[in-house]
């Protein structure tokens, strides 16, 4: 069972496929790589 991300599920926190009725879409994945971690001296 999946968790609801659209916020309109009747059985929160689980998905009931209501997102299909409200045309919910997610943000596309970023195309660039994240910046390298910054090292801080102790």
Provide φ and ψ at 11, rounded to 5°: -120, 45
Instruction: Give the pLDDT confidence of 1-24 residue by residue, as tens digits.
Output: 899 999 999 999 999 999 999 988
Query: Is residue 35 included in any domain, yes or no?
Result: no
Residue 2 lies in a domain: yes
pTM, 2 dp? 0.55
Could you tell me if residue 13 is inside a domain?
A: yes
Residue 13: give the domain boundaries.
1-25
The answer to whether residue 32 sits within a structural domain is: no
**Are 6 and 24 a contacting pair, CB within 8 Å?**
yes
Query: pLDDT tens, 19-38?
Result: 999 988 888 877 788 788 88
Token look-up 């998905």 returns: 15
């Amino acid at each position: 069972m999946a968790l609801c991300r659209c916020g309109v599920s009747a059985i929160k926190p689980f998905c009931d496929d209501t997102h299909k009725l409200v045309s919910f879409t997610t943000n596309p994945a970023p195309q660039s790589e994240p910046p390298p971690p910054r090292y801080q001296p102790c």
